[in-house]
Structure 1
Amino acid sequence: MQKTDRPTEETSEAAIASRAEADGDPASDLPGFWPLLLVGAAVLPGTALVVVGQSISKPALQAWETVCLSVTVQALPFLLLGTALSGAINAFVPARVFHRILPKRPVFAVPVAGVAGVVLPGCECASVPVANSLIGRGVTPAAAFAFLLSAPAINPVVLTATAIAFPGRPAMVLARLLASLATATVMGWLWLWLGRAEWLRPAVRHTGHHPGHSRWAEFRRGFQHDFLHAGGFLVIGAMAAATFNVAVPPSVLDTFSASPWLSVLFLAALAILLAVCSEADAFVASSLTGFSPLARLTFMVVGPMVDLKLIALQAGTFGRAFAVRFSAATTAVAILCSALIGGILL
């Protein structure tokens, strides 16, 4: 079986930069997606308030407003900090630093890359182009994918937010750390074992510093991009969580929450659909009080690794064949790791 440990095409920084200029930003393959998202984030709150206010009672409307605003206000500082740190890393830390610290043997590089996500903050949107750049500079794809999954899931900002969202429950923070790290490592090893070159589009994006471009300008541009995009998803996710808490009948929730496995699968699917930023998903999970701790852990492990915006970004960056296979496998592995580790710690 063909492996993709090292790229066989041009890997120098100059070559990759020239290819990036020729091919463009993969994220631009969906030119109408982001503007629509930002417009939706601007108009949906007011529209939703009118619709919800006409269809439910005043106490229910007040509960909806409380949940929506509390999730947004509590998560916003962590989203701001996370995207700022991510922009600083992309602008000021060369990608070759990662290549130098990784072991040469891919089987050992995978867990090291996964652990690197603990100390290198970043959101999901930033991790995809960073992983793409690492592959283009000669880092084994398996290690780049382990970093892609771990960085937005277990960085200090996310773990701190989780501790605040679940006060007095350090076991939840530890379970999230271990389950996310285990998922990233297993997925890296699975790519070493089963990955095929034809599933992976050649890396074309360069996230490092370009000659003649100010690093501060790159930081500002990256920060604005990540914050606006992730902020839109945060608003939509907070509204969806509030609607879920108010509009869904208790009988429906009881159907899922009463079953240990159905509740886990339900919140895993909800994490994929809501696409809440990893700096904010702990606050959404903490608001889902009708579900078990294990189900809410699964929500926090699956969300930063597989959601609708990540699938779109991965398809635009690495190709549709990769995105479909990788997302499906990551979902299954994340659920299993959450069940195993959460079953022990929670």
Structure 2
Amino acid sequence: MSDRTTSDAAPEPAFSPSLGDTLARGWDERVDELPPEDWGRRRGQRRTGTVWLFALFITAMAMGHAWLSEELTGQAFLAWATIFTAISFQALPFLVFGVALSAALTAFVPASAYQRFIPSRPSRAVPVAGVSGALLPGCECASVPIAGSLMKGGVAPAAALTFLLAAPSINPIVMIATAVAFAGQPEMVLARFTASLLASVVIGWIWVRFGRADWLRPPARSHGPGESRWKVFRESMLHDMMHAGGYLVVGGLAAATLNVMVPREWLLTVAGAPVISVLVLSLLAILLSICSEADAFVAVSLTDFSPTAKLAFMVIGPIVDLKLIAMQAGVFGWRFVARFAPLCLVVGLLSTFLVGGLLL
């Protein structure tokens, strides 16, 4: 029997590669990769959690409608819904415009542009940075990273911190929103501008005198150097809008609940004490953490409190609240926050009592 040629050889049977062959060659001649998280699951199993959550949500809505159908048409609930809707719809246009403008500043205005107008000497740079906050608007969410960029660009820390406080407190969007909320009360707009600017500049000067470099952690870069400016703008606006919008809703809910659920005699007791009412609304501003473009609409709804107490709500919130404390700790460190937040609170209260006593 003669040998068969290579061309006459039978084709090799198809079979799966062994584990040794696979490990030697790699999967399909490629570098090994981890399987996806849902590997081995059926498509229906991956959707089970979502289906159950949706079913529970529908069940809760049905039970709530059955139990609360009468209460939802009551006078108290209708008053609560009216107050909450009015606050939200009045503040939303200013919030959207302010967040968009802040995102544009973060994305398209480099830190070097601020350095051209801010003197190198810290004591002189502080008031210039404070006034710059009135010209270059930015909400709390944008002012913290902008202050970090200024420090990285060589601006004195005291001046950068002054801008951090002044920008969300006295920028044009905030002043216009305050004028709309307190229609016919120009003294409230002037009082907010004066008290907020005074507090920001005094805090900056105190930091010049007593601040130490080791209290500040060097800020990290918020965006990569090669990222598109439009990408930075989009991400900044989405981030700030989600955060600021959420705090606006929380603030509107709290203000409406405070007006409807809390007994009026309690409010009258607290509101009738000049010092206590200021401290109570200052604490409320810290806890609610409302965006500065919307806090005036919440403050004006607290009708039982004095004008000075409402001023404290608008002065303290933009310079020290839970949101700012968390953001400042993430950028500058907790050693900084432990010293800076109490300083802002004390100076803000003193400025409120002084300006409120003179103008309101």
| Selected match of 1:69 from 85, 93, 108 | 85
What residue is the counterpart of 1:141 in the other structure? 157
So what's the TM-score if we normalise by structure 1? 0.83
Q: How is 1:256-271 mapped onto 2 (pairs within 5 angstroms)?
A: 256-271=270-285
Q: What one-letter code is carried by the residue in structure 1 that aligns with 2:326?
A: A
Q: Is the CA contact (8 Å cut-off) linking 1:52 and 1:61 kept in structure 2?
A: no
Q: How does 1:128-207 map to 2 (within 5 A)?
A: 128-206=144-222
Residue in 2 that maps onto 1:101: 117
**Which has the larger Rg?**
2
| Equivalent residue, structure 2, for 1:311 | 325
Over the aligned positions, Cα root-mean-square deviation in angstroms equals 2.0
CA contact (8 A) 1:53 1:61 kept: no
| Equivalent residue number for residue 7 of structure 1 | none
Alignment map for 1:1-346 (pairs within 5 Å)? 58-206=74-222, 210-211=225-226, 213-346=227-360
State the alpha-carbon separation in 2 of the partners of residues 119 and 145 from structure 1: 16
Relative distance call for 1:243 and 1:137 in structure 2 (3 A) is same
User: How far apart are 1:244 and its partner, in Å?
Assistant: 0.9
The one-letter code matched in structure 2 to 1:70 is A
Alpha-carbon distance in structure 2 between the residues aligned to 1:97 and 1:56: 54
d(CA) in 2 for partners of 1:232 and 1:104? 38
CA distance in 2, matches of 1:206, 1:69: 35
Point out where structure 1 has 5 or more consecutive residues left out of the alignment: 1-42
In structure 1, distance between residues paired with 2:200 and 2:352 = 12
Per-residue deviation, residues 196-248 of structure 1 (Å, max 9, x unmatched): 222211122246x833x221221111111111111011111110111111111
Report how far residue 55 of structure 1 moved.
Answer: 7.4
Structure 2 gap segments, 5+ residues each: 1-56
- Letter matched to residue 336 of structure 2: F
- Residues 120 and 155 of structure 2 are in contact (CA less than 8 Å); yes or no, is this contact kept in structure 1? no
Alpha-carbon offset, residue 58 of structure 1: 1.1
1:109 and 1:284 map into 2 onto residues whose CA distance is 33
Secondary structure in structure 1 of the residue aligned to 2:116: helix
Report the Cα distance in structure 1 between the residues aligned to 2:158 and 2:70, rounded to whole angstroms.
Answer: 51
Who is 1:26 aligned against?
A: none
Structure 1 or 2: more helix by fraction: 1
Whether the aligned pair in 2 keeps the contact of 1:233 and 1:275 (CA below 8 Å) is yes
Q: Structure 2: which amino acid aligns with 1:287?
A: S
Aligned to 1:6: none
- Deviations along 1:263-301, one digit per CA (max 9) or x if unpaired, are 111100010011110000000000000000011011000
| Matched-pair contact (CA < 8 Å) for 1:272–1:302 | yes
Deviates more, 1:275-284 or 1:53-62: 53-62
2:72 touches 2:78 (CA, 8 Å); kept in 1? no
RCO higher in structure (CA 8 A, sep ≥6): 1
**Matched-pair contact (CA < 8 Å) for 2:71–2:77:** no
Change (3 A) 1:56 1:322: farther
How many angstroms apart in 2 are the aligned matches of 1:244 and 1:111? 38
State the identity %. Answer: 55
Counterparts of 2:231 and 2:327 in 1: how far apart (Å)? 23
- Matched AA of 1:210: P
For 2:5, the equivalent position in structure 1 comes to none
Between the aligned partners of 1:188 and 1:53, the Cα distance in structure 2 is: 54
The answer on whether the counterparts of 2:158 and 2:204 sit within 8 Å (CA) in structure 1 is yes
Distance in 2 (CA, whole Å) between partners of 1:88 and 1:152 is 15
Structure 1 CA distance, aligned partners of 2:263 and 2:128?
Answer: 45
Which SS does the other structure have where 1:101 is aligned?
Answer: coil
TM normalised by structure 2 equals 0.79
